[in-house]
Every structure is written in C-alpha cells, then in structure tokens.
C-alpha cells in the first residue's frame, strides 16, 4: 500500500517551509540578496541545508517565492490606499508610502528594485513592477472617469511613474541614504506628471 502523508505530517512540512521563507525574508531585509546564501538562510530558519533543499531546489527557487511575498506586501499597501481620496492625493500618498518604506529598509528595497539577482528572481521583479503599474493605472483610469484627469494613456503613464520612483530610489538605497527632501521630490514628480483638467489646475 503506497505511503500517504498524514495531515499532521503535511502541516509540519508546511510550517517548515514557512519558517524557511520567513528566514529568507529576514535575511533579505538585513543584508540583501548577496548575503542570503542557502546555508545562511537554513541556519537562520533552524533547519539543515538538506531540509531547505527538500522544499526549494535552489536559491533561485527560494527567492522567487520570497520576492513574490515581499513584492505583494508592497503592492497591497498601495492598493489599500483609501478610494475616498482624490486620485492625485491617493497617488501622492502611494508614492510617499513606497519611498518611505523603501528608505526604512534599504537592503530589502535594494534587493527588490535593483540588486543583481538570478533570472528566476528577476522575472518576479518584473511581475512586481507590472503589478505596481497596474495599481497606478487603475487609479489613473478612475481619475479620468471622475473628471479629475484628462483622458490619456493610463498604462504608459503608470509605467513611467513606477520607473521614475524606482530610479530615483536606486542611488539612495545603494548608499543607505535617507532624505525627507528625496521623498518630497518623488511625490512632486508624480503629482506634476498627472494630466489634470483645466478646472483642477485653476482650483
């Protein structure tokens, strides 16, 4: 009769997997992708290296999952911005939240945005940027529908905003530089790029 894992065994495996992912997330936040070798993550999770490999065949597989988790947190923060706010204020708040969260955890943000990584992890980075773009584009489309913004190519503008935010952060993140002036500039760039209606500009 073939062996069938019990619910208890499956729960234990799932808990071990989650502990490994949590340890990798912590290692990423502490020292970036370069610091997060398999042995370091296994030690941090309190498991043998062989155990880690049972759950993730390679570092790239592990960190593809880690990037999915970490990226989704950031997207959820932006997506959770109050829809009661005018679109310009919501996007400004989203840009500010992104910048401040990145500068608060520079090693993690550097890894998510720009640190050299394996191709499988790079693919997740692109998914992250597209997801962020989609949240911005949805907000821009709402602005057009409500009359706050002029009709425009929302997807292209959203991609440009995400690119501008990320590029503005790369240098400060690599040098662990924190600056309120930087955050203000990023927000200003995003707000000034919006195709507001004449009535809104006059107001």
Residues 119 and 60: beta-carbon distance below 8 Å: yes
pLDDT at 198: 57
Three-state secondary structure string covering 30-92: HHHHHHCCHHHHHHHHCCCHHHHHHHCCCHHHHHHHHHHHHHHHHHHHHHCCCCCCCHHHHHH
Q: What confidence tier does 203 reach under pLDDT thresholds 50, 70, 90?
A: very low
pLDDT at 1: 53
Q: Which two tokens stand for residue 176?
A: 């662990």
27-52: per-residue pLDDT in tens?
A: 999 999 999 999 999 999 999 999 99
Residues 200 and 174: beta-carbon distance below 8 Å: no
pTM of this prediction?
A: 0.83
The alpha carbon of residue 18 and the mean position of all alpha carbons in its chain are separated, in whole angstroms, by: 19
With a cut of 70, say whether residue 87 has pLDDT above it: yes
Section 99-109 average pLDDT: 92
Q: Which residues contact 94 (CB under 8 A, 6 or more apart)?
A: 77, 78, 81, 135, 136, 139
pLDDT at 83: 79
CATH code of domain 59-202: 1.10.357.10
Section 96-102 average pLDDT: 93
């Amino acid at each position: 009769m073939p062996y069938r894992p019990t619910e208890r065994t499956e729960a234990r495996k799932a808990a071990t997997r989650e502990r490994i992912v949590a340890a990798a997330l912590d290692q990423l936040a502490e020292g970036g992708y370069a610091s997060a070798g398999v042995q370091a993550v296994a030690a941090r999770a309190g498991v043998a290296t062989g155990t880690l490999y049972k759950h993730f065949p390679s570092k790239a597989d592990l960190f593809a999952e880690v990037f999915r988790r970490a990226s989704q947190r950031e997207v959820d923060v932006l997506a959770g911005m109050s829809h009661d706010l005018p679109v310009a204020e919501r996007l400004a708040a989203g840009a500010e939240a992104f910048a401040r969260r990145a500068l608060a955890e520079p090693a993690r943000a550097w890894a998510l945005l720009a640190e050299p990584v394996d191709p499988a992890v790079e693919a997740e980075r692109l998914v992250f940027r597209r997801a962020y773009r989609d949240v911005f584009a949805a907000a821009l489309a709402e602005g057009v529908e409500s009359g706050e913004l002029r009709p425009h190519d929302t997807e292209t503008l959203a991609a440009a905003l995400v690119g501008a935010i990320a590029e503005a952060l790369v240098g400060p993140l690599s040098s662990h530089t924190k600056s309120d002036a930087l955050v203000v500039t990023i927000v200003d760039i995003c707000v000034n790029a919006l195709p507001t209606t004449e009535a809104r500009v006059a107001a």
